[in-house]
Amino acid sequence: MTDAPKTFRRAERTGRWAEVDVLAYKAEGAAPFKDITRQVLFGDPNLACELRYFEIAPGGHSTLERHEHLHAVMIFRGRGQCMVGDRVMDVGPHDLISIPSLTWHQFRASTEEPLGFLCMVNRERDRPQLPNDAELGELRANVAIAAFLDSA
Ligand code: MN
**pLDDT, tens digit (0-9, with 9 covering 90-100), for 87-105:** 999 999 999 999 999 999 9
Comparing 152 with 130, the larger pLDDT belongs to 130
DSSP calls for 77-103: EE-EEEEETTEEEEE-TT-EEEE-TT-
- Rounded to the nearest angstrom, the distance between the alpha carbon of 127 and the centre of ligand 1 is 9
Ligand 1 centre and the CA of 10: distance in Å? 27
Cα–Cα dist 79/108, whole Å: 9
| CA–centroid distance, residue 144 to ligand 1 (Å) | 20
| Portion of the chain with pLDDT greater than 90, in percent | 91
pLDDT at 132 over 80: yes
Determine contact, residues 52/40, Cβ cutoff 8 Å.
yes
Q: Which domains does the chain have, with CATH numbers?
A: 11-150 (2.60.120.10)
Active site residue ranges: 119
How far away, in angstroms, is 70 Cα from ligand 1 center? 8
Q: What pLDDT, on the 0 to 100 scale, is given for residue 28? A: 80
